[in-house]
Structure 1
C-alpha cells in the first residue's frame, strides 16, 4: 500500500512542475520498479543473514521515516524547481530533478527489502512455504489496491500531495515503531522509537506550510483529482495555467475585453466557411477549460445555447470564480470529452475541440471513430473547429488530424494562427472552398462585431495547405505519443527555452 501511495504522491508532486506526459509517468514507474528490484535483492540477502523480527521492524520504521522525510523534501525541492521553471533556469530544473530521483529511490528501495524479509520470517517449515508466501503476496496485492485508490480518489484531493506523503509514511512508521517496541523490550530500539517521530515534527511543520508554487501575480492554486491548477493575474487579465504552467488554457480580462485575436477567437470563423453562413444557434465545446471559447461566441452571436464539456470540475469552479463563467446560456458538463459528447444529441451548428496540448493529447479524441461521432451531432450545415499544435517545420500532427478528418468530412481547411504554434482545422459537413470564407468576410455588415471581422480577415489570410500522407488515426491505432513527444523534443532542441513563457512576459 505504501509503495503505491508513494508512487502516486511522487508523480503528483512532479506533475506540478514537469507535467503529466507519458514520458513522466514512464520514468516514475520505471524508477519505482528499478528501486523495488534492488530492494528485493538486498532484502533477500539481509533476511538470510539476520532473520530477526527486530531487524525487519527496523526496516519498516526506516522506510516510514524516509517516506515522510524524502517526500516532504521532494515537495520543498520542487517548489524551487517550479520557480526555476517559471524563469526557465535549466540547470536548476535538472538539479531539482536529480534530487527528486534520489528522494524516490531511498524509501522505495527500503520498501522492496520488506517482502523477501517477511517471507523468510514467516516460513518456519519448508512444507508451508507455498501457502505462506501465497498468503503474503495476496495481502500485498490487496494493499496495492488500497494504495492505488485511496491516494488518488480520497486523500490527495482532500488533503493535498504533501499531506498524503505524511499520512501514508506516518502509517508505515507507526507499524514499524510498534513492532520495534515489541521486539526490543529495552535498549536502543525504544529510544529509536521515541526519537524518529520527534525528528520528523519540525520537518513536517516546515515543509507543509505554504503553497506549491508562488508565481508573481498568483491569485489561486489548488490540486484537483486531475491537475495542479493556477490562476495568474497579468495586467488586467486572469490566466489559467495547469500543471507545469508552460501554456495558458483560458484568459479573461476585466469587463470582458479581448485584447487581441487569439487561438480561440479564430474559431469564430468556422461557420463562415459555408457557402451561405447562418449564425450558429447551438454549440458544443469539448475542452471548456475556464470558458474562453463560449464567452467569445456569446459576445459575437448572442446568448446561443452552448454545452461545454470539461474533465476537471475544479477548473470549472475556477472559471466561475476568476473568469466570470456565469452566463445563463453556457451549460458546463463535467466529464470526459468523448463520453460527454456521446451523451448529447445535438444537433449543433458548431462543435469546437480544444483538448490538444502537446505532448498531452488524449488519443481517443483524434480518431476516425470519434470524428464520426462528432459528425453525427452536427446539423446539415454544421462545422467542427479543432485547435492543433505544431512546431516550426513539423506539421505531422496537423497533417495526421487533417487526414483523419477527411475520412469523415468532405472538406477540411487549415488556418495557421499568426504569432503562435497553433493551427485551427475547420471541417465542414458540406463541400466548401476558401472562396466561401473570403466572400462571407467581404459581405459582413457594418454592425458586425470587430472581433468577428478581425477573425475572418486573419483566417482568410492565413489558410495553409494540408500535407499529403498524414497518418489516419483509428481507435485501434492512433500513434499520437510518438508524434507529439518527438515534436516537443525537436522544438526544445531548436529553440531552447526562449519560447516557453506562457504569458509572453
Structure 2
C-alpha cells in the first residue's frame, strides 16, 4: 500500500499542476509568466515538503502521521474552489506587474504541493529496514513517485481535463487524497476524514450555489478543451438584448454576437476588417487564421456570395461552441482546419485574395505567427494583388508602443505597403488599443478611393512610426513586450 500511495501522490501533484493552469487562465492567462510561476511554485513547494517530510519521518515514523498529512492535503485541495474566486479576481483587477500577479496566483496551490511533497521521504523512512539497503529503498520509491507523475501528466492532459473539467477534477483530487489516507491508516483518523469530507461537501455546495459571475454577465458555459478553457456569457446592454461573448481562458473577449442581430459584426475591430469589401470587392478565396466563434467568417460568406473561406482554428472545441452558442451552421463554402496557423501556412496550398490574421490571445500573439518567417509564408499564400489584414493590440508610440513597432517592422520587411488604423483612439499614439494593419505587396492593392472608406480613413495613422528590430523565429519576445504594454495600459 505504501508504494501505491507514493505512486498516486506523484500522479496527483502533476494533475494538480496542470489543472491549476486552467483555473488561473480566466484571471491571469496562460502566458510564459504564468507557467513559470506555476512550475516554480510547485517545485519550491515540493522541495519544502521533502525537507519537512524527512524531519517529520525521523521524529515520528508512523503510518498514522503519513495518513494525517494526506488528510491535510485533501482539505487544502478542497478549499481551492472557495479561495480561488476572491484571490484571483483581486489579482485580475489589480494594477501590479503581470509577473508578480502570476506568482501570487500560483501560490493558491502551494500548500497542497507542500503536503504532497512530504509523502515520498516519509514513505522511504517507513519502508527502510537497514542502512545497507537504504539507497535502493529511496531510489525505488522516488522512481515510483516519478512514474506516478508521468502517468498523472498524460492522464490529465489527454483525458481528465478535457472530459472532467477543472473544478470537478480538483474535487476528485481531494477524494483521492482521502482514499490514500485510508490506505495507510484504515482504522484510524476517521473523525479527521469525516471533517475533511464535510469541508469537501461544503465546498461543492458553495461552488454549485455560487457559479462564477463573469464581467457582470450571465455565464452560459465554462468548458475545458484539450487546448484551453472556454467561457461563454451574455452581457447586458441597456434597452436591448444582450451581447453574447466568448472568452478563451482570459478576461478579454475573443468573439461576440448581438443576440437580436447575429449576422452583424459586434466587435469594433472586425468592422475595420470589413474594409476589405471596398479594397477587393470581388474576393473569391479567403483565409482566416484564427476562427473564434466564426462570426467574421460568417460575415464574409454573406458579403461575398461567390467566395470560399478557409478558417484555421487550433481548437476544435471552439468551433463546437460556435455551433452551440453562436448560431453557426456548416456551409459548403467554408472549410475548417483544426491546426496551428503557422503549420497550415508552411504547407504549399492555394493562393488567397485576402488573409485575415486574428490570433491575439489576451494581450499577446503566438510567437510563431508574429515573425518575419511567418509573414513570408503568408506572402507566399497571397495572390499578387492580395491583402493581409491583422488585428493587433498595442500602442503606436511611447512606452506602450514597442510591441507594435517591432511587429510593424516585421511586416514591412515582407510587405512594402502597410497601413495602420487605430480603432478606438485615432489621435492618441500612446493608448493601448486594437490596431488593424492592412498590408500588401503592391500599392494598387491598397487603393483608398471608395466613398465608403471615409469613416475608416479618419482613423488612418499618418505620422512616422519609430524604427525597431524585426521579430524572427529565433528571437521574438512577444510575451515580454505584451506584459510591458499591459502595465502601461493600466
TM-score range, shorter chain: 0.7 to 0.9
Superposed displacement of residue 371, structure 1: 1.4
Aligned pairs (5 A) from 1:61-72: 61-67=71-77, 69-72=78-81
- Corresponding position: 1:423 with 2:432: no
**1:231 and 1:191, CA in 2 relative to 1: closer, same or farther beyond 3 A?**
closer
Q: 1:25 aligns with which of 9, 28, 35?
A: 35
Partner of 1:412: 418
Describe the superposition over 1:425-453 as per-residue Cα deviations: whole angstroms up to 9, x where unpaired: 222132458xx5233x14xxxxxxxxxx2
Describe the superposition over 1:276-308 as per-residue Cα deviations: whole angstroms up to 9, x where unpaired: x55211101011111232233333333410011
CA RMSD of aligned residues (A): 3.1
Q: 1:177 aligns with which of 168, 173, 182?
A: 182
Partner of 2:23: 13
Q: 2:318 aligns with which of 285, 300, 315?
A: 315
Partner of 1:351: 355
Partner of 1:36: 46
- Corresponding position: 1:282 with 2:285: yes
**1:74 and 1:7, CA in 2 relative to 1: closer, same or farther beyond 3 A?**
farther
Partner of 1:400: 406
The answer for unaligned runs of 5 or more in structure 1 is 443-452, 493-505
Q: Which segment drifts farther, 16-25 or 194-203?
A: 194-203
Count of aligned positions: 461
SS across alignment from 1:382: strand
CA–CA separation in structure 1 for the residues paired with 2:385 and 2:107: 57
Aligned pairs (5 A) from 1:322-471: 322-326=325-329, 328=331, 329-343=333-347, 345-391=349-395, 393=398, 394-419=400-425, 421-432=433-444, 437-439=447-449, 441-442=450-451, 453=452, 455=453, 457-459=455-457, 461-465=459-463, 467-471=465-469
Partner of 1:136: 141
TM-score (norm 1): 0.82
Superposed displacement of residue 253, structure 1: 4.8
TM-score (norm 2): 0.84
Aligned pairs (5 A) from 1:66-105: 66-67=76-77, 69-75=78-84, 77=86, 82=89, 103-105=108-110
CA–CA separation in structure 2 for the residues paired with 1:62 and 1:297: 56
Superposed displacement of residue 11, structure 1: 2.7
Does the Cα contact within 8 Å between 1:350 and 1:378 map onto a contact in 2?
A: yes
SS across alignment from 2:467: coil
Q: Which segment drifts farther, 251-260 or 413-422?
A: 251-260
Aligned pairs (5 A) from 1:301-312: 301-312=304-315
CA–CA separation in structure 2 for the residues paired with 1:458 and 1:361: 24
SS across alignment from 2:360: coil
Superposed displacement of residue 71, structure 1: 2.2
- Corresponding position: 1:474 with 2:472: yes
Superposed displacement of residue 400, structure 1: 1.1
Superposed displacement of residue 383, structure 1: 1.4
Superposed displacement of residue 390, structure 1: 1.1
